[in-house]
């Protein structure tokens, strides 16, 4: 008994579950949206059917019960044969296998004919639209079909056309040679028969518009043209839609053109009683709602009197001199210019006037506010794109102009990157306020080359950019010449007469090659190339600069190992005592012969040493090698000294004197025979440890020489405060000494000043007997230059022969770099 009870309980539970599942399924089915298959005869883009679909998809603006539409296009305009329709039928059967549709909606004759013939839709109710002629000929005995027949009220349109064009004696109907065209011609014949008109009627039945292209311009003044249906321009091409067809015909004839669709008005059709695809689609949607609500389609009468619109193109009416007052009442005019004298405007003029007055007040407020905002925006934009110090456009402005390619105007462009040489030294020496005055002075100087084709930009702290449009290749040469001359005159800054030089890098591009990043990169590369030369120098970017940059990169990669491995050689150049003829000393010079690059010029590898941070190792290595090589010269009767160049980083390093002392001790080099050469630039500025370091070096017993005297920012104070022993006059004052009275005065002044301060003077760059004679007359006692000998390996001057060669007063060609 217990087992039977359990079995009955389980059966009741199972029955309850099945009942709940059935109820849930029924509820889900009742809530599922209706499924509607929409068959369009033609293709998407054919306006008549697009507008029918638009009207149907509106669904009367009702959201509840809105169906799911599955839209398929048969494309029978372009594929009229039977085989494509068979393929279309197979496509639908495969795609919608097992799916049941609640309704089938068709547009135009081909879609309805296809739906009636297909067994898969035998039980599906149909709502059609756009049928030419009597749709019952297509429906036959098929039940469950209703819809809207396409109606073109040709009788009314023809009657109106004859009133508007009383001169017309001939009607030409342009229709396609297909099924749709046959239906149009049948409908036309019926309308003409009912009208009883005696005008001449011609049917131009074509497969392409090319067949009538030559006939259209020849239409006479007594002819009206009706362009109906759709057809391609050339046979086999894409069919023109009604608007395209009317527009094509309108452009080739000066006679009025009529059509049957409202969408053609505005594209060349004059107008008339027009069929509306949008209204047909809306009417079909209302009929479909009734079918989906349960009403049988056969109980819903087929609509033959579709809504027509009386629409006319105002421009076409004006073209043919037709007064709008001759049109039927309630006609709609497209492209008509608005007029306040029309009754519809006159009745609301006062209301509009008040609204317009309010809008004008609002507009005035908006304009005032807009001007204020625009002024603020312009001020902010100017602030963001211009430099506060100089008032010049800044880097942001330059990027904006080059990125948007606003600069150039279809012409070639030159971009010059300019950077002030040793500007940091100016700041360190005189302060940043003084430096700002220098920048302002340079900006004013550069403004002298501005014209209608040139703009000046402050790129960064001490860098400027010059932009110039180039109308001729020679203009680039002129620009370079201007850059070379612009900085030659000294500057007057806060009572100081200051010589400022700059490096200029030039890049240029053709109109179609203007690229911001490339121009800036090439100009910057050329500018850094120009910085390798002292003074004002202009370099135009070319392919060789890239190769030199690559060479510099390789030097910087190899130099640290060369310094560590002792590959840097020591060469000596003699310093001659003009009064006695003997060697007073030697200047130690660094030379590097790379196994692949050969002899590397000293400026190249010294620059590389500074960039790579191994200049300190290079200086100490040179001091050690030079001291070792100088030991044999300690016994010479002339008691020569050894001069070694040091870098700015050396004299600003606290432990440099200790390293010098250690090297001298290890190599056995007396301190009193050593001279360390520094430049004027190293001794200027408020920061650094130079005073303390030089004082400690001097305490070791060695001497200090000022190299290249007169080429830097000279200040007499350091000659005493740093306890300088020797001044070396730069060779730039000696090069033109024979022909330059000013250079002669400068040399005399330096020699006189040095005598008063009890300093020795070494004159560099002596190369000719004339220079030698002048320098002797001026009191120069220590001389150095190619006249006495080029730099040679350190041991080349040992022995009486070597010393005698150096002291002879005849030019020496020497060997080596």
- The set of residues, in sequence order, having a beta carbon less than 8 Å from that of 711 and lying 6+ positions away, is 534, 680, 730, 732
Residue 472 has pLDDT above 90, yes or no: no
Residue 159 and residue 189 in contact, taking contact as beta carbons nearer than 8 Å? no
Q: What is the mean pLDDT of the chain?
A: 85
For the chain, the maximum distance between any two Cα atoms, rounded to a whole number of angstroms, is 148
Is 7 or 273 the better-scoring residue by pLDDT? Answer: 273
Q: What gap in Å lies between CA 115 and CA 119, rounded to an integer?
A: 8
Q: What is the pTM of this model?
A: 0.43
For 139-183, the pLDDT digits (tens) are 999 999 999 987 667 888 888 888 889 888 899 999 998 877 887
pLDDT band at 811 (very low <50, low <70, confident <90, very high): very low
Q: What is the percentage of the chain residues whose pLDDT exceeds 90?
A: 37
The DSSP bridge pattern shows strands 103-107 and 126-131 to be parallel
Number of Cβ within a 10 Å radius of residue 18: 10
Locate 513 and state its tokens. Answer: 């090659």
- The set of residues, in sequence order, having a beta carbon less than 8 Å from that of 430 and lying 6+ positions away, is 494, 496
Q: What gap in Å lies between CA 771 and CA 262, rounded to an integer?
A: 103
Q: In angstroms, what is the C-alpha Rg of the chain?
A: 50
Return the pLDDT at 9: 54
Three-class SS string for 540-604? ECCHHHHHHHHHHHHHHHHHHHHHHCCCEEEEEEEEEECCCCCEEEEEEEEEEEECCCEEECHHH
Q: What gap in Å lies between CA 301 and CA 287, rounded to an integer?
A: 10
Residue 315 has pLDDT above 70, yes or no: yes
The DSSP bridge pattern shows strands 760-763 and 782-783 to be parallel
Helix spans in 59-178 (H):
82-95, 108-117, 136-139, 154-164
Residue 4 has pLDDT above 50, yes or no: no
- The set of residues, in sequence order, having a beta carbon less than 8 Å from that of 31 and lying 6+ positions away, is none
Q: What gap in Å lies between CA 507 and CA 519, rounded to an integer?
A: 6
Return the pLDDT at 798: 86
For 71-105, the pLDDT digits (tens) are 999 998 888 888 999 999 999 999 999 889 999 99
Q: Cα torsion for 23, 28, 30, 33, to the nearest 10°? A: -170
Q: What gap in Å lies between CA 753 and CA 649, rounded to an integer?
A: 29
pLDDT band at 473 (very low <50, low <70, confident <90, very high): confident
Closest CA to 229 of 212, 213, 246: 246
Locate 558 and state its tokens. Answer: 């190899």
Q: What gap in Å lies between CA 548 and CA 369, rounded to an integer?
A: 58
Q: Cα torsion for 205, 211, 213, 214, to the nearest 10°? A: -110
- 618 sits in which H/E element: helix 615-630
Locate 392 and state its tokens. Answer: 């010049």
Q: What gap in Å lies between CA 400 and CA 385, rounded to an integer?
A: 9
Return the pLDDT at 474: 80
- The set of residues, in sequence order, having a beta carbon less than 8 Å from that of 288 and lying 6+ positions away, is 36, 56, 67, 103, 105, 127
Locate 548 and state its tokens. Answer: 């030199």
Segment 806-816 shows an average pLDDT of 43
For 693-750, the pLDDT digits (tens) are 888 999 999 999 988 887 755 556 667 665 789 999 989 899 998 899 999 999 999 9
Closest CA to 782 of 765, 803, 801, 796: 765
The residue written with tokens 């638009």 in the block is: 54
Instruction: Measure CA 171 to chain center.
Output: 59
Return the pLDDT at 813: 38
For 687-700, the pLDDT digits (tens) are 467 788 888 999 99
Segment 407-418 shows an average pLDDT of 83
Return the pLDDT at 6: 43
Is 730 or 815 the better-scoring residue by pLDDT? Answer: 730
Please, what is the end-to-end C-alpha distance for the chain in angstroms?
124
Q: What is the percentage of the chain residues whose pLDDT exceeds 70?
A: 89
pLDDT band at 2 (very low <50, low <70, confident <90, very high): very low
Helices and strands, counts by H and E, the chain: 28, 31
Return the pLDDT at 295: 93
Helix spans in 168-305 (H):
179-195, 242-250, 277-292
For 483-517, the pLDDT digits (tens) are 989 888 999 988 888 889 999 999 988 888 888 88
Residue 210 and residue 224 in contact, taking contact as beta carbons nearer than 8 Å? no
CA angle 596, 601, 604 (to 5 degrees): 95
The count of residues in the chain is: 817
CA angle 748, 754, 755 (to 5 degrees): 90
- The set of residues, in sequence order, having a beta carbon less than 8 Å from that of 440 and lying 6+ positions away, is 389, 390
Instruction: Measure CA 150 to chain center.
Output: 55
Residue 702 and residue 657 in contact, taking contact as beta carbons nearer than 8 Å? no
Half-sphere exposure in the Cβ direction for 594 (13 Å, CA)? 19
Q: What gap in Å lies between CA 336 and CA 325, rounded to an integer?
A: 13
Residue 29 has pLDDT above 50, yes or no: no
Return the pLDDT at 3: 43
């Amino acid at each position: 008994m217990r087992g039977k009870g359990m079995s009955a309980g389980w059966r009741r539970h199972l029955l309850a579950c099945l009942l709940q599942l059935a109820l849930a399924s029924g509820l889900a089915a009742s809530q599922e949206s209706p499924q509607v298959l929409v068959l369009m005869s033609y293709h998407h883009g054919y306006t008549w059917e697009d507008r029918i679909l638009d009207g149907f998809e509106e669904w009367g603006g009702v959201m509840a019960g809105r169906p799911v539409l599955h839209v398929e296009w048969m494309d029978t305009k372009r594929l009229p044969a039977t085989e494509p329709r068979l393929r279309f039928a197979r496509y639908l059967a495969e795609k919608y296998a097992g799916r049941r549709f609640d309704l089938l909606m068709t547009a135009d004759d081909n879609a309805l004919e296809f739906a009636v013939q297909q067994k898969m839709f035998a039980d599906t109710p149909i709502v059609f639209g756009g049928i030419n002629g009597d749709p019952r000929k297509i429906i036959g005995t098929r039940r469950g079909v209703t819809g809207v027949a396409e109606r073109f009220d040709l009788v009314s349109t023809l009657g109106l056309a004859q009133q508007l064009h009383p001169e017309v004696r001939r009607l030409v109907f342009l229709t396609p040679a297909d099924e749709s065209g046959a239906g149009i011609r049948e409908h036309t014949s019926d309308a003409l028969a009912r009208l009883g008109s005696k005008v001449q009627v011609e049917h131009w039945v074509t497969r392409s518009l090319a067949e009538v292209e030559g006939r259209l311009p020849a239409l006479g003044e007594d002819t009206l043209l009706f362009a109906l249906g759709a057809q391609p321009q050339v046979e086999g091409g894409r069919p023109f839609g009604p608007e395209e067809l009317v527009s094509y015909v309108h452009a080739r004839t000066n006679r009025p053109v009529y059509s049957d669709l409202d969408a053609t008005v505005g594209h060349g059709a004059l107008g008339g009683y027009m069929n509306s695809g949008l209204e047909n689609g809306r009417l079909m949607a209302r009929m479909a709602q009734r079918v989906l609500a349960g009403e049988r389609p056969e109980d819903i009468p087929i609509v033959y009197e579709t809504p027509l619109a009386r629409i006319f193109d105002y421009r076409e009416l004006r073209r043919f001199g037709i007064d709008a007052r001759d049109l039927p009442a309630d006609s709609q005019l497209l492209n008509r210019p608005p007029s306040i004298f029309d009754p519809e405007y006159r009745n609301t003029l006062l209301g509009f006037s008040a609204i317009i007055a309010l809008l004008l007040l609002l507009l005035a407020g908006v304009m005032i506010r807009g001007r204020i905002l625009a002024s603020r925006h312009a001020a902010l934009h100017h602030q963001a794109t211009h430099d506060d110090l100089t008032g010049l456009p800044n880097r942001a402005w330059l990027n904006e102009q080059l990125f948007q390619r606003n600069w150039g105007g279809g012409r070639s462009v030159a971009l010059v990157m300019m950077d002030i040489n040793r500007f940091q030294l100016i700041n360190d020496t005189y302060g940043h306020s003084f430096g700002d005055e220098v920048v302002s002075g340079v900006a004013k100087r550069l403004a002298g080359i501005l014209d209608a084709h040139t703009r000046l930009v402050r790129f960064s702290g001490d860098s400027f950019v010059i932009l110039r449009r180039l109308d001729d290749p020679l203009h680039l040469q002129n620009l370079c010449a201007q850059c070379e001359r612009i900085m030659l005159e000294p500057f007057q800054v806060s009572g100081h007469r200051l010589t400022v030089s700059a490096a200029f890098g030039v890049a240029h591009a053709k109109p179609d090659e203007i690229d911001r990043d490339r121009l800036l990169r090439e100009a910057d590369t050329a500018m850094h190339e120009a910085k390798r030369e002292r003074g004002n120098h202009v370099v135009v970017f070319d392919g060789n600069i890239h190769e030199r940059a690559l060479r510099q990169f390789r030097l910087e990669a190899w130099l640290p190992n060369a310094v560590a491995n002792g590959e840097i050689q020591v060469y000596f150049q003699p310093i001659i005592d003009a009064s006695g003829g003997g060697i007073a000393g030697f200047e130690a010079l660094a030379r590097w012969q790379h196994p692949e690059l050969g002899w590397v010029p000293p400026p190249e590898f010294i620059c590389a040493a500074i960039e790579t941070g191994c200049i300190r190792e290079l200086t100490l290595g040179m001091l050690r090698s030079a001291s070792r090589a100088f030991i044999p010269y300690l016994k010479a009767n002339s008691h020569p000294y050894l001069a070694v160049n040091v870098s700015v980083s050396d004299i600003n390093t606290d432990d440099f004197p200790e390293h010098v002392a250690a090297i001298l001790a290890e190599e056995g080099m007396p301190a009193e025979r050593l001279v360390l050469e520094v430049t004027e630039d190293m001794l200027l500025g408020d920061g650094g440890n130079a005073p303390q370091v030089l004082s400690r070096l001097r305490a070791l017993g060695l001497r200090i020489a000022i190299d290249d005297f007169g080429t830097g920012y000279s200040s007499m104070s350091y000659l005493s405060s740093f306890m300088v022993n020797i001044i070396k006059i730069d060779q730039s004052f000696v090069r033109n000494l024979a022909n330059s009275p000013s250079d002669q005065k400068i040399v005399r002044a330096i020699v006189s000043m040095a005598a008063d301060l009890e300093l020795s003077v070494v004159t560099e760059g002596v190369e000719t007997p004339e220079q030698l004679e002048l320098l002797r007359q001026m009191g120069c006692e220590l001389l150095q230059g190619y006249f006495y000998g080029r730099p040679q390996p350190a041991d080349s001057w040992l022995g009486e022969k070597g010393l005698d060669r150096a002291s002879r007063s005849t030019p020496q060609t020497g060997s080596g770099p």
